[in-house]
Structure 1
Amino acid sequence: MSTKKEFGNVRGVVFPIHKNELRKFLPMALIFILISFCYALTRSLKDMNILKEMNATAIYWLKAVAITPSMIFFTILYGKVSRSTGRDGRFNAVMIYFFAFFTLSLVFLLPKKELLQLNALSQMLEEKFPSLIGLWGAICHWPISLFYIHAEAWGTFALSVVFWTFVNEITAVNQAKRFYSFLSMFAAIGSILAGFILKLDNVRTNFDQGLKFVIIAIILVLVVYNYFTSDIKANPSYYQVEQKPKKVKVKMSFMDSMKFLARSRYLMLLSILVVGYGLVIALFEAVQKAQIQQYVKITGDNTIYAGIYSDQQIAVGVMSILVTIFLATPVLKKGWRFAASATPVTALVMTVLFFTFLRFGDALDDFLKGFNLTALHLSVQVGLYNVVLIKSVKYVLFDPTKEAVYIPLDEETKVRGKAAVDGVGSRLGKSLASVLVTTMSTLLGGGDIANIRTPIVLMIIAVIILWLIAVRTLGKLKTAAEAKHESERIGARTVQVSK
């Protein structure tokens, strides 16, 4: 039954959830708000700390040499946990680990970072190899780098893996069409809340204080999740969309999981989408963050970082809500392929606009002086709102369409494939972008990202074209997989009735 027949025109857009579904949807939405809040806040804090203490290229050195190995390590650990425990055990283990690390960061690692950092080693290396200043900065400020790695891991494992795995298990195909895009609105609320936290005076002057709110949110996630799952266990008939026979779990190592991914054309195409987004946004933000750092250095006010990132988080949240209300339903009604293409097309348009402004923006300096503005300040604002629009469309349309791809797959493919695609694939794109940025900035740009803008924009355009081709092919495979899934479901019901 389509959303249009189930609800009126306004209700179908504003709140396409049945009253009898609220018992499932509301706890799910609250968990999503809290996890998204932690994601938005830690993501801002990690960038703010690095831009304040190091060269902007340190971010991309970290992603090039530390993030992907760390994600592989975390994926191996997650695989071991998933083989030894069930859904709830996996979820709780991930949350408790990050709770412990962020608490350690708040009480020791970040407050003592000046005592722990390796200044002498960094200075010696920088004198010998000055073009690698970003790498030496990341090594010197290792407590901040370690926090950066874990903030990245939170987005992958807490949000992309354990939360969406849980949601996929308790959501039927017909519910997913309404639930998933609307859930994005609640992720937007988390982003807005994070933006307001960054505006607090104590957080603007001491970034570490933002972690107090992250720790409280993780505690609430654990409480709500375990209460919710206890209700699921007490009332399984209400929550189970399909009664599936239990399958013997196949133990797979990390390498086995990756080989399994390589044998699946379906998952490989999905990986191209995930890697493509990571590569595009990382390349785009490389230039944007360099502009922000240059602007803050000129003004000499480090609190500007908090102001910029708080504005970005609030704007992403508000824009996501607007896109959800006015665009999500009509776009999703046009089919999976059309909705999945929205993010790369938006990224392509915004990339062309941003880099065109960077190329010709200085010509506006004399005109802007009359408004007490500079081209540099305006480039920061243009870059910020371009990122806002790209990420808003990503949260509302890319994430739900990506998750919908997993629904017709069998349980083993969902768990192993999702861990491989989201756990490594999402990092691979950003790490590849970092390798490109660090290599080009070292060899061609003298360590300065501003000198490699042209090759960056050309790479972004090439990746988006490949991304769109993958969307087209995956759309055909998804339709076939859904037809097979529906046929098997009807066949299973027929056998049960005959018995």
Structure 2
Amino acid sequence: MNFILQISTKIKKKMSTKQEFGSIRGRIFPIHKSELRKFLPMASIFILISFCYALTRSLKDMNMLKDANNTAIYWLKAVAITPSMILFTIIYGKVSRSTGRDGRFNTVMIYFLCFFAFSLLFLLPNKESLQLTGLSKMLIEKYPSLTGLWQAICYWPISLFYIHAEAWGTFALSVVFWTFVNEITGVKQAKRFYSFLSMFAALGSICAGLILKLDSVSKNFDQGLKFVITGIVLILVIYNYFTADIKANPAYYQVEAKQKKVKVKMSFMESMGFLAKSKYLMLVSILVIGYGLVIALFEAVQKAQVQEYVQKTGDNAIYAGIYSEQQIAVGIVSILVTLFFATPILKRGWRFAASATPATALVMTILFFTFLRFGSTLDGFLQSYHMTALHMSVIVGIYNVVLIKSVKYVLFDPTKEAVYIPLDEETKVRGKAAVDGVGSRLGKSLASVLVTLMATTFGGGDVANIRTPIVLIIIAVIICWFMAVQTLGKLKAAAEEKHESEHREASKIQASK
């Protein structure tokens, strides 16, 4: 009997989708015209945040790889970025307790606007006079196995910019934007909105790639920050206009009625304790940490290949070309995945959609490391096309990263954000800040610790010598990731049922009034 009811429910859902949009419209763009007033401002903000994220992420790597050893990145992530994210999370927690939704959003945006302006006008133009060259040389002579760490300290202006570029991705994108979207988007609407928001965000990645192609940026990486600053200013304008319209016309936006919860003020440590006590949020953390760990380990090898290739050519402008192609490709592939694969995958259920990213990462990891192991045998063949195995490994690495990140943006981010919707407001705000603010950095920082320890201990300071343990760790993490998805899927279904019943009760109370 239950089986028959489940089949009947699925048939009704498919019929309703076709009636609402038609088979083609339902697959390509299942957004009602009446919803565009909400969807388009959200999409515009997401495009701009993603544009700034893609551009700053490329600029931080380009600056660091140009001036320092690639292991400096992983020392920086291991010893500086996680403590910085914890500090930012503490500050964000205090801001969120003392201000409302708009205060949180505007505070985060204005802080990064000020820092990136400071970086453009003073920090990066004067990096050579500010860097600690003498101290770095002395430390390298005494402790050569820790060269990456000393270089991260030496180039501290770049390191400081690197930390803030990482923080932008966490707090502007993962925390304040998605917290805002989750607050004004219902469960049913989210199922249609979220994957298509990611498609619009892909346009931001394409725009960032085009900016990197400009001669002024490829010759002077710092000039890219002019576009970041402009983007943040536009975000503030659109957001404040949008939220003013929501306040003026709340009925139009059809925000779901929710029972008011008594907000409990929690310190950072209390928030982390709350996270540890929640099996639901712990599983979300495993997903976030798993992705961060896998992509950071994968990129450790990929970036080493890129740096080796650029150093052999002797042209630093190649960095801009490589990262430009990567950002444009991520955007294009993300749009293609959204248009032709996202809807069918999402219709298969949350667990199936959430499994798409680890499955893609597993396949791409095996392909990339297989090529690194046996690619040299193709050297003679590649030379006839004026290429080398090293050049080809850079191309293979870039497009493997492109596929992993494209699936991540289109499927991992929306499915991860969807798990927060059925939660109460306190859990949503505090739990999300803890998971995204610390969890996302924890995965990357853990990867950095592993890379630096393995490279220092038995890799001779070279990432190329530790490829085998890296690929084995990646595969083990992906297996744990799959297991967490399966368990979380069951808990999410139960939480959604509870959320729906509370929503019905709230609607009845409002109707009776």
1:164 alignment partner in structure 2:
178
Matches within 5 A, 1:100-115: 100-115=114-129
1:170-197 deviations in Å (ceiling 9; x for gaps): 1111110110000011110000000000
Shift of 1:248: 3.4
Q: Contact 2:57 / 2:166 at 8 angstroms: preserved in 1?
A: yes
- Residues in 2 aligned to 1:13 and 1:111: alpha-carbon distance in whole angstroms: 48
Q: 1:468 aligns with which of 463, 473, 482?
A: 482
Shift of 1:16: 1.2
1:40 alignment partner in structure 2:
54
Q: 1:410 aligns with which of 416, 424, 433?
A: 424
Shift of 1:10: 1.8
2:5 alignment partner in structure 1:
none
Question: For residue 77 of structure 2, what is the amino acid of its counterpart?
Answer: K
1:238 alignment partner in structure 2:
252
- Residues in 1 aligned to 2:139 and 2:300: alpha-carbon distance in whole angstroms: 24
Q: Contact 2:205 / 2:328 at 8 angstroms: preserved in 1?
A: yes
1:187 alignment partner in structure 2:
201
Q: Contact 1:14 / 1:325 at 8 angstroms: preserved in 2?
A: yes
Q: Contact 1:191 / 1:313 at 8 angstroms: preserved in 2?
A: yes
1:479 alignment partner in structure 2:
493
1:220 alignment partner in structure 2:
234
Q: 2:99 aligns with which of 78, 85, 95?
A: 85
2:368 alignment partner in structure 1:
354
Question: For residue 152 of structure 2, what is the amino acid of its counterpart?
Answer: A
Question: For residue 394 of structure 1, what is the amino acid of its counterpart?
Answer: K
1:266 alignment partner in structure 2:
280
1:311 alignment partner in structure 2:
325
Matches within 5 A, 1:444-463: 444-463=458-477
Shift of 1:282: 0.2
2:134 matched to 1:120?
A: yes
Q: Contact 1:3 / 1:178 at 8 angstroms: preserved in 2?
A: no
1:343-368 deviations in Å (ceiling 9; x for gaps): 00000000000000000011111111
1:435 alignment partner in structure 2:
449
> Structure 1 stretch 455-464 or stretch 360-369: which is displaced more?
360-369
Question: For residue 219 of structure 2, what is the amino acid of its counterpart?
Answer: T
Q: 1:250 aligns with which of 264, 267, 273?
A: 264
1:105-163 deviations in Å (ceiling 9; x for gaps): 00000000000000000000000111111111100000000000000000000000000
1:426 alignment partner in structure 2:
440
**Secondary structure of the structure 2 residue equivalent to 1:221:** helix
Shift of 1:245: 4.5
1:149 alignment partner in structure 2:
163
2:65 matched to 1:65?
A: no
Shift of 1:432: 0.2
How many positions carry a matched residue from both structures? 499
Shift of 1:487: 1.3
2:111 alignment partner in structure 1:
97
- Residues in 2 aligned to 1:217 and 1:14: alpha-carbon distance in whole angstroms: 28
Question: For residue 132 of structure 2, what is the amino acid of its counterpart?
Answer: L
1:246-273 deviations in Å (ceiling 9; x for gaps): 4332110000000000110000001000
- Residues in 1 aligned to 2:356 and 2:18: alpha-carbon distance in whole angstroms: 22
Shift of 1:5: 3.5
1:424-471 deviations in Å (ceiling 9; x for gaps): 000000000000000000001111000000000000000000000000
Shift of 1:8: 1.5
Q: 2:39 aligns with which of 16, 25, 50?
A: 25
Q: Contact 1:405 / 1:478 at 8 angstroms: preserved in 2?
A: yes
Q: Contact 1:81 / 1:90 at 8 angstroms: preserved in 2?
A: yes
- RMSD (CA atoms): 0.9
2:341 matched to 1:327?
A: yes
- Residues in 1 aligned to 2:53 and 2:17: alpha-carbon distance in whole angstroms: 31
Question: For residue 191 of structure 1, what is the amino acid of its counterpart?
Answer: S
- Residues in 2 aligned to 1:252 and 1:239: alpha-carbon distance in whole angstroms: 31
1:208-239 deviations in Å (ceiling 9; x for gaps): 00000000000000000000000011011122
Matches within 5 A, 1:327-406: 327-406=341-420
1:275 alignment partner in structure 2:
289
Q: TM-score, normalized by length of structure 2?
A: 0.96
**Secondary structure of the structure 1 residue equivalent to 2:441:** helix
Shift of 1:240: 4.3
Q: Contact 2:258 / 2:506 at 8 angstroms: preserved in 1?
A: no
> Structure 1 stretch 22-31 or stretch 232-241: which is displaced more?
232-241
**Secondary structure of the structure 2 residue equivalent to 1:93:** helix
> Structure 1 stretch 125-134 or stretch 100-109: which is displaced more?
125-134
Question: For residue 20 of structure 2, what is the amino acid of its counterpart?
Answer: E
- Residues in 2 aligned to 1:299 and 1:279: alpha-carbon distance in whole angstroms: 31
Question: For residue 271 of structure 1, what is the amino acid of its counterpart?
Answer: S
2:188 matched to 1:174?
A: yes
Question: For residue 250 of structure 1, what is the amino acid of its counterpart?
Answer: V
- Residues in 1 aligned to 2:463 and 2:407: alpha-carbon distance in whole angstroms: 26
2:313 matched to 1:290?
A: no
1:9 alignment partner in structure 2:
23
1:302 alignment partner in structure 2:
316
Q: Which runs of 5+ in 1 are unaligned?
A: none
